Amino acid sequence: MKPIAIDDFCRFKFLSHVNFSPEGKSACFVVTTADQKKNEYHSCIYVLKDGKIRKLTNGGKERNFQYLDENTILFPGMRENQTDPKEPDLTSRCYKIRLDGGEAELACTFPIPVSKILPLPGGDLVVLGQTLPGYEELYRGEKKLAAKWKKYTKENADYEEIRQVPWWWNGSTYTKGAYQSLFYYDVRKRSLKRLTEINENVGDAELSPDKTAVYYVSTPVKPFLKLDGTAAIFRIGLGDGIAVRLAESSDVFEINGFAVGKSFLLIAASDKKYGLNTDSDFYKIDYETGELSLYAEYGEAIGTSVGTDIRYGGGKALRMDGDICYFLSTRFDSSGLYKLEKGEISPVCVKPGSIDSFDIRDGEAVMIALHDMKAQEIYSGNVPGRGENGDLGKGSGMRLKKISRLNDLALRDKYVAVPEPLHFVREGQEIHGFVLKPMGYDPAEKYPVILDIHGGPKTVYGKVFYHEMQYWAGKGYFVIFCNPTGSDGRGGFMDIRGKYGTVDYEDLMAFCDAALEAWPAMDREHLYETGGSYGGFMTNWIIGHTDRFRACASQRSISNWFSFYGVSDIGVDFAMDQNAADPWADPEKLWWHSPMKYADKVKTPTLFIHSFEDYRCPIDQGYQMFTSLIAHGVESKMVCFRGENHELSRSGKPLHRIKRLKEITEWFEMH
- Tell me what percent of the residues of the chain surpass a pLDDT of 90: 90
Q: How many CA atoms lie within 13 A of 569 on its CB side?
A: 16
pLDDT surpassing 70 at residue 406: yes
Residues 340-351: what's their mean pLDDT? 96
CATH number, position 451:
3.40.50.1820
Q: Determine, yes or no, domain membership for 277.
A: yes
Digit-coded pLDDT (tens) for 478-522: 999 999 999 999 999 999 999 999 999 999 999 999 999 999 999
- Tell me: do 398 and 431 sit in the same domain: no
Digit-coded pLDDT (tens) for 428-475: 999 999 999 999 999 999 999 999 999 999 999 999 999 999 999 999
Residues 171-195: what's their mean pLDDT? 94
pLDDT surpassing 50 at residue 33: yes
pLDDT surpassing 90 at residue 98: yes
Cis before 166? omega within 30: yes
Type of residue at 465: F
Compute the mean pLDDT over every residue in the chain, rounded to the nearest whole number. Answer: 94
pLDDT at 5 (0 to 100)? 98
Residues 2-12: what's their mean pLDDT? 98
The pTM for the full model equals 0.95
pLDDT at 183 (0 to 100)? 98
- Tell me what percent of the residues of the chain surpass a pLDDT of 70: 96
pLDDT at 223 (0 to 100)? 67
pLDDT surpassing 80 at residue 387: no
Beta-carbon contacts of residue 185 (< 8 Å; ≥ 6 apart): 108, 110, 124, 125, 126, 127, 191, 192, 193
- Tell me: do 392 and 521 sit in the same domain: no
pLDDT surpassing 50 at residue 396: no
- Tell me: do 61 and 123 sit in the same domain: yes
Q: Determine, yes or no, domain membership for 1.
A: no
Digit-coded pLDDT (tens) for 104-147: 999 999 999 999 999 999 999 999 999 999 999 999 999 999 99
Confidence of residue 392 (pLDDT cuts 50, 70, 90): very low
pLDDT at 225 (0 to 100)? 53
d(CA 184, CA 32): 31
Number of domains the chain is built from: 2
Q: Determine, yes or no, domain membership for 408.
A: no
pLDDT at 80 (0 to 100)? 55
Digit-coded pLDDT (tens) for 642-656: 999 999 999 999 999
pLDDT surpassing 50 at residue 148: yes
Confidence of residue 87 (pLDDT cuts 50, 70, 90): low
CATH number, position 209:
2.130.10.120
Digit-coded pLDDT (tens) for 658-671: 999 999 999 999 99
Distance of CA 633 to the CA centre of its chain: 38
Digit-coded pLDDT (tens) for 196-221: 999 999 999 999 999 999 999 999 88
Confidence of residue 395 (pLDDT cuts 50, 70, 90): very low
pLDDT at 390 (0 to 100)? 37
pLDDT at 187 (0 to 100)? 95
Q: What is the DSSP string of 219-262?
A: EE--SS--TT---EEEEEETTT--EEEEEE-BTTBEEEEEEE-S
Task: Choose the final residue of a domain: 353, 373, 402.
Answer: 402
- Tell me: do 557 and 516 sit in the same domain: yes
Digit-coded pLDDT (tens) for 278-288: 999 999 999 99
- Tell me: do 142 and 279 sit in the same domain: yes
Beta strands in 416-488 (DSSP E): 420-421, 424-426, 429-436, 447-453, 478-483
Digit-coded pLDDT (tens) for 237-271: 999 999 999 999 998 999 999 999 999 999 999 99
> What does the CA dihedral 178, 179, 185, 191 come to, rounded to 10 degrees?
-30
pLDDT surpassing 70 at residue 386: no
Q: Determine, yes or no, domain membership for 5.
A: no
pLDDT surpassing 50 at residue 391: no
- Tell me: do 312 and 388 sit in the same domain: yes
The continuous run of DSSP H or E covering 470 comes out as helix 467-474
pLDDT surpassing 90 at residue 186: yes
555: phi then psi, degrees, rounded to nearest 5: -120, 135
pLDDT surpassing 90 at residue 318: yes
Largest Cα–Cα separation, the chain:
77
Residues 381-407: what's their mean pLDDT? 69
Q: Determine, yes or no, domain membership for 289.
A: yes
- Tell me: do 59 and 174 sit in the same domain: yes
CB contact at 8 A, 634 and 602: yes
pLDDT surpassing 90 at residue 228: no
67-72 long-range contacts (CB < 8 A, ≥24 apart) are 67/19, 67/21, 67/22, 67/28, 67/119, 68/96, 68/107, 68/119, 69/22, 69/119, 70/21, 70/22, 70/23, 70/25, 70/26, 71/21, 71/98, 71/99, 71/100, 72/96, 72/97, 72/98, 72/99
Range of the domain at 287: 13-402
pLDDT at 101 (0 to 100)? 80
- Tell me: do 370 and 519 sit in the same domain: no
- Tell me: do 156 and 197 sit in the same domain: yes
pLDDT at 172 (0 to 100)? 84
Residues 60-88: what's their mean pLDDT? 79
Q: Determine, yes or no, domain membership for 609.
A: yes
Confidence of residue 389 (pLDDT cuts 50, 70, 90): very low
- Tell me: do 105 and 205 sit in the same domain: yes
Q: Determine, yes or no, domain membership for 100.
A: yes
- Tell me: do 307 and 453 sit in the same domain: no
pLDDT at 385 (0 to 100)? 66
- Tell me: do 188 and 281 sit in the same domain: yes
pLDDT surpassing 90 at residue 79: no
pLDDT at 84 (0 to 100)? 54
Measure CA of the first residue to CA of the last residue in the chain; give whole Å. 28
Minimum mean pLDDT among 76-85, 384-393, 437-446, 636-645: which range?
A: 384-393
Task: Choose the final residue of a domain: 402, 433, 450.
Answer: 402
